[in-house]
Amino acid sequence: MPSPYRAIFAVPGTKSFSAAGLVGRMTLSMMGVGVVTMISQLTGRYGLAGAVTATLALSGAAMAPQVSRLVDRYGQRRVLRPATLVSLAAVAGLLVAAERGWPDWTLFAFAACAGCVPSLGSMIRSRWAAVHRGSPRLLHTAYSWESIVDEVCFIVGPILSIGLSTAWFPAAGPLLAVLFLAIGVFWLTAQRATEPVPHPREDHPKGSALRSRGLQVLAATFAAVGAIFGAIDVVTVAFAEEEGHKAAASLVLSVYALGSCAAGAVFGLLHLKGAAARRWLIGVCVMAVSMIPLQLAGSLPFLAVALFLAGLAIAPTMVTTIALVERHVPRAKLTEGMTWVSTGIAVGLALGSFAAGWVVDAAGARAGYAVPAAGGALAAVVALLGYRRLASAPDREGTAADDGDREAQRVA
């Protein structure tokens, strides 16, 4: 492991909480594509599969910021365990309803109740922010490391989820996903030494973190980016089925994540200069342009190459996004602020999954790749329109970046 990555793990407990986050976040990469595979296997209806996945994502988008707001106030252990138990019960109901052929409305009802699943990526990143506050260079590397962990999940997760659901039984992938969630959350919350100190009501700034104009731009942009991710999951499964190799969809989606993982590993080694907002804008625009070659996909090998190249822009853009959240959100609301970005992605996942499923049912898988292209174009437009908000100074004192700024000034 290169020395910058070794340095971030010098603090006791960091390896353990990062490992717990890896296990718990496997759910993120497995659940959506697992539900799509499960329902399409059982019913042959990609429209229904996309709609249920959209409901699951929208439920998470509505509930996750509220869970994170409670975490900022009361701490991770007190909030995450009961929230996770509610989510586990709802997903269990969804799997039973699908396997037993219950009416469609029951699938949507259980999916709507499953949104209590916590944003573990935000929980882990808030721990890194607490551990390395005052060390911007180490924090950049830590966030890059977590982007690598995210992509490892998206490399391994789809292979497990789609592979199990197609080779064993349809609900096998989502079932393993919720087991990973339970293990990850309870392992993480057992680690008290690195848990960020909660901010009680009397120390908590009024209102939501989303009042930050910079965070509004980030969340809106990543709603469009989420549409890219959601649509690619659905369309790639359908495309692989049309090609006669449905199980190969997991490998193709893993190649997409592999591109992001490779870029994130390199990005974490760089000592960056210049405006983060400008890097972020470039990253979003590159993500949009990378959707164009997908319109030409005529085979799975071509699609895999195109998705690998498209993935190269994801991790660097996400790392820069988290840095911008720190700059625009009060420290006492950092977990909530990070979760709003995830919420934007979740909303986009829902819309992208639904739209892609509808297009696939109506016009076939190849036509479905127009949906991520539209999402990329919208993301670029929103980013361009909101760039000035991000480039401006933080609109509040006491942002999470303040400590790092003061430390950098002191060292200089």
**Residue 114's closest CA among 162, 73, 77, 62?**
62
Which pLDDT belongs to residue 397? 43
Cα distance between residue 175 and residue 165, in whole Å:
10
Distances from the Cα of 203 to the Cαs of 149, 194, 210, 280, 362, in angstroms? 33, 20, 18, 32, 53
Residue pair 252/240 in contact by the 8 Å Cβ criterion:
yes
Distance CA 139, CA 188 (A): 20
**Angstrom distance (rounded) from CA 87 to CA 82:** 9
Burial of 410 (C-beta count, 10 Å sphere; 0-12/13-18/19+):
exposed
Residue 204 backbone dihedrals phi, psi, to 5 degrees: -100, 125
- Cα separation, 398 vs 261, in Å, equals 32
CA gap 80, 70 in Å, rounded: 9
Contact 85, 30 (CB under 8 A): no
How far is Cα 112 from Cα 62, in angstroms, rounded to an integer?
A: 10
What confidence score (pLDDT) does residue 408 get? 37
What is residue 205's predicted lDDT score, i.e. its pLDDT? Answer: 56
Residue 5 CB coordination number (10 Å): 16
The residue with tokens 């990329």 is 376
The pLDDT of residue 334 is 80
Cα 24 to Cα 18: distance, rounded to the nearest angstrom = 10
pLDDT tens per residue across span 83-117: 999 999 999 999 999 888 899 899 999 998 887 77
| pLDDT for the residue numbered 354 | 81
What pLDDT, on a 0 to 100 scale, did the predictor assign at position 46?
Answer: 77
Q: Phi and psi (nearest 5°) for 241?
A: -65, -40
Cβ neighbours around 202 below 10 Å, total: 5
Q: Which CATH architecture has domain 13-198+207-403?
A: Up-down Bundle (1.20)
pLDDT at 82: 92
Class of residue 361 by CB neighbours under 10 A (exposed 0-12, middle 13-18, buried 19+): middle
Name the stretches of the chain with pLDDT < 70: 1-2, 200-207, 393-412
Q: What is the pLDDT of residue 85?
A: 92
